[in-house]
Amino acid sequence: MKILVVGGGIVGLSTAWALVRLGHTPVVYDQGAVPNPMAASYDQHRIIRLAYGERDGYCRMVKPAFQAWRRLWRDLGEQHYAETSTLLIGGRADDYASSRASFDRLNVPYEELDKVTIKQAVPIPTTTQRRMGLYNAEGGVLLADRIVGALTVWLRNQGSEIHPQTMVRDVDFHHAIVTLNDHTQHEGDAVVVAAGAWAPQLLPELAAHVKPIRQAVIYLRPPAHYLQCWRNSPVIVDFGGTDDARAYHPSQILD
């Protein structure tokens, strides 16, 4: 089947990858470049972790996600992932207790670290008092821009059509037709919309159900002695304040 995919972020590109594997023909449209530096999927890092507080559903999805990433590395012939382990420290007490309860419900292996052990394992300043830590050996850093870049090359090598700078202005799901900004219409057998934070603009009926949120990223060049600490440190999840926060490894030590 010919499947029209609107959006060339990680969701659109990995959907196209899965479609090729199943013998279908994806056609990807993106309003910007592919990969698109303005998309949520484009950055040095994203983390994959098991701790999601009480949200068992997220935690359950992570195991199949690891398997899917491994399939992708095999197809790409290279791995864009560093398994650093992850550590949930302090932050909101309910996140800690609810993540631990979720692990117990789902039989996810974890270790509880006390604050002395945490200080030895992660001798990096954090914004809160270090209380207890939940440690998962599985999890780490996905090298996001390399992944979307490699997926784009892989899809092109498979002969998939990728149309950058091509905005879709309307979707007719019933007839599987997309209308582009230049008013041309293109028909397939089905349409998948993977438009990320832009989705409610294309599909206004979604606006009542999904609310895009903004996250800030701060890049820091740590002093040399902290750089060394990071080499053996887990990714730190939710390490302070009232909002989620994460500390990733400086990308240069993951190469």
Ligand X SMILES: Cc1cc2nc3c(=O)[nH]c(=O)nc-3n(C[C@H](O)[C@H](O)[C@H](O)COP(=O)(O)OP(=O)(O)OC[C@H]3O[C@@H](n4cnc5c(N)ncnc54)[C@H](O)[C@@H]3O)c2cc1C
What is the H or E stretch that residue 5 is in?
Answer: strand 2-6
Task: Closer to ligand X by CB, 92 or 224: give it.
Answer: 92
Q: Say how far residue 74 (Cα) sits from the centre of its chain.
A: 19
User: Contacts with ligand X: how many residues (CB under 6 A)?
Assistant: 27
Per-residue DSSP letters for 31-94? SS-SS-TTSTT-SS-EEE-S--TT-HHHHHHHHHHHHHHHHHHHHHTS--EE---EEEESS-HH
Whole-number Å distance between alpha carbons of 89 and 247? 11
Site string for ligand X, 30-49 (x = CB under 6 A): xxx---x--xxx----xx--
Shortest distance, position 221 Cβ to ligand X, whole Å: 19
Neighbours of 153 (CB within 10 A): 10
Binding mask 211-240 for ligand X (x = CB under 6 A): ----x-x-----------------------
Nearer to ligand X, 118 or 143 (CB): 143
Residue pair 187/112 in contact by the 8 Å Cβ criterion: no
Q: Shortest gap between Cβ of 212 and ligand X (angstroms)?
A: 9
Q: Write down the least CB distance from residue 225 to ligand X, Å.
A: 26
**C-alpha to C-alpha distance for 81 and 73, rounded to whole angstroms:** 9
Tell me which residues in 121-180 interact with ligand X (CB under 6 A): 167-168
Cis-peptide into 125, omega within 30 deg:
no
CB nearer to ligand X: give 113 or 199: 199
Of 36, 4, 25, 16, residue with least CA distance to 191: 4
When binding is defined by CB under 6 A, the residue of 3, 4, 5, 9 that contacts ligand X is 9
Stretch that binds ligand X, among 10-18, 89-97, 130-138, 150-158 (CB under 6 A): 10-18
- Residues engaged in binding ligand X (CB under 6 A): 6-12, 29-32, 36, 39-41, 46-47, 167-168, 194-198, 202, 215, 217
